[in-house]
């Protein structure tokens, strides 16, 4: 089997849930995923992507399984071909206030609202079904299906994971120019050796999540 044939098979496998929904009469199916739950710094991002029934971009997969170059390439194609997409962002201060799980859900809701508004404005109808990686959102009044490891099983969720990842990475690269001592351009806010060295030498920045650093503060004799 050639590489192209393998990618075509993967796309077919990842489109099973969407195709079943299309057969049931649903036309506007959204995939939702987040990125940035684990970092010590920066916001959590979520994306909501509504793909056309004939979406044929090969290589879409869980963003964590793709190289940075491939994610950027696919992000452009997904945005071009999507019927609609939205991005939700919840910053570190809100994460500290409401916890990361609630912040993740809030970012997802913002992303869904953004994509849904786009659909209603341009197509006179909104999202009919939502596929979400692992979660179900109680405050969203649209039929949903939570899929465990959905970013590897649903093309719509995988597309959302790519859009969210590229958008958040771009933000963290921008922040690395403002705060150059933490290697945000490479670690994207995760707790690498270089990141902790930056904390040791320069302290926290305005984009750090204080609730994620309680252990670090305690070990180093700081308060929060």
Q: What is the pLDDT of residues 41-64, one digit of tens each?
A: 999 999 999 999 999 999 999 999
Two tokens, residue 123 = 């197509």
Average pLDDT, integer, range 14-20: 97
List the one residue out of 116, 179, 176 whose CA is nearest residue 144.
Answer: 116
pLDDT of residue 215: 87
Question: What distance in Å separates the CA atoms of residue 160 and residue 164, rounded to the nearest whole number?
Answer: 6
Confidence class for position 12, pLDDT limits 50, 70, 90? very high
For the chain, give the DSSP string: --HHHHHHHHHHHHTHHHHHHHHTT---EEEEEEE-SS-SBS-EEEEEEE--TT---TT---GGGS-HHHHHHHHHHHHHH-SEEEEEEE-HHHHHHH-HHHHHHHHHHHHHHHHHHHHHHHHS----EEEEES---TT--S-EEEETTGGGT-HHHHHHHHHHHHHHHHHHHHHHHHSTTS-HHHHTTS--HHHHHHHHHH---TTB-GGGGHHHHHHTT---
Q: Which CATH superfamily does the domain covering 3-179 fall into?
A: Ribonuclease H-like superfamily/Ribonuclease H (3.30.420.10)
- Radius of gyration of the CA atoms of the chain, in A: 19
Contact 55, 153 (CB under 8 A): no
pLDDT of residue 224: 52
Averaged pLDDT score across all residues of the chain: 96
Q: What is the pLDDT of residues 60-116, one digit of tens each?
A: 999 999 999 999 999 999 999 999 999 999 999 999 999 999 999 999 999 999 999
Q: What is the pLDDT of residues 184-221, one digit of tens each?
A: 999 999 999 999 999 999 999 999 999 999 988 888 87
């Amino acid at each position: 089997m050639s590489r192209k044939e393998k990618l075509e098979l993967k796309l077919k496998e990842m489109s099973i849930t969407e195709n079943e929904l299309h057969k049931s009469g649903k036309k506007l199916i959204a995939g939702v995923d987040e990125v940035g739950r684990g970092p010590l710094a920066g916001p959590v991002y979520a994306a909501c992507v509504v793909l056309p029934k004939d979406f044929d971009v090969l290589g879409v997969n869980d963003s964590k399984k793709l190289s940075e170059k491939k994610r950027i390439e696919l992000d452009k194609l997904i945005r071009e071909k999507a019927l609609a997409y939205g991005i939700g962002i919840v910053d570190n201060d809100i994460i500290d206030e409401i916890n990361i799980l609630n912040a993740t859900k809030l970012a997802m809701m913002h992303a869904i609202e953004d994509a849904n508004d786009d659909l209603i404005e341009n197509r006179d109808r909104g999202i009919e079904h939502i596929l979400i990686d692992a979660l179900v959102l109680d405050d969203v009044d649209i039929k949903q299906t939570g899929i465990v490891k959905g970013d590897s099983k649903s093309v719509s969720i995988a597309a959302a994971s790519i859009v969210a990842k590229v958008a958040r990475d771009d933000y963290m690269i921008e922040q690395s120019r403002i705060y150059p001592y933490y290697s945000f351009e490479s670690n994207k806010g995760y707790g690498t050796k270089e990141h902790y060295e930056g904390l040791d030498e320069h302290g926290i920045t305005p984009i750090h999540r204080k609730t994620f650093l309680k252990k670090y503060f305690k070990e180093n004799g700081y308060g929060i």
